[in-house]
Chain A
C-alpha cells in the first residue's frame, strides 16, 4: 500500500506570493491533517479535514487555508507569504479519529520563503 504522498517536496517562493501544497492520503483514509514544523515553534497543528469537512483548526492566521476533495486528497494554501512561513509542512492521514486510528505522516514539503 502506498504511503502518504506530498507534492512538491521542495518549494522556494518570494514574500507576498501564495503557495499551494498537495497531499494524497493512503487509500481508504478519509482524515487528513496538516502540521507546520519550524525550528523555533516546533510542530504545530494547522487543520484537519474529514470527508471534505474541516473538523479541527489550529491557531494560524486566515492566510492559511485548506480543503479536501471527494477522493480525500487535500490541499493547503498560504497566501501573502511571509519569511516566517518557511517551514516543513507535514501531512498525515488516518482512517478516522487519531484516538482510534493510527496517523501516517508524509515526508513533508519544505517551503522556503525569500
Chain B
C-alpha cells in the first residue's frame, strides 16, 4: 500500500545544531508539504513543493529549508535550531493543488 513516512518520530537536539527531518511518500504525488503544529496555532505551512526541483516558502518559513531532488522525498532542514522551533512537524502529499492532502505520522522535535 502507498504511504507517507517520517523519520525520526522523536528528536531532541540542542540550540544551534542543524537538524534534518525526513519525509518519504510512495504515492508518487507531485505535491509535498511541511507543516508545524503548535497549541493555539493549528497547522501552519512551512514549505511546499509542486515537483522535483520546485520549492516554495509557506507562512512560517524562516529558519527552515527544503530541497526536492526526487518525487518521493522532501527533507526539511533546520539550519540552526532554536527553542521556538520545538514543535510537532507533519509532512503531507497530494496529487494536485486541490486534492486531499495525506499526512505522515509526525515528528516531535524538542530543541533544548
**A complexed with B:** no
Q: Give residues in A with beta carbon < 8 Å to B.
A: none
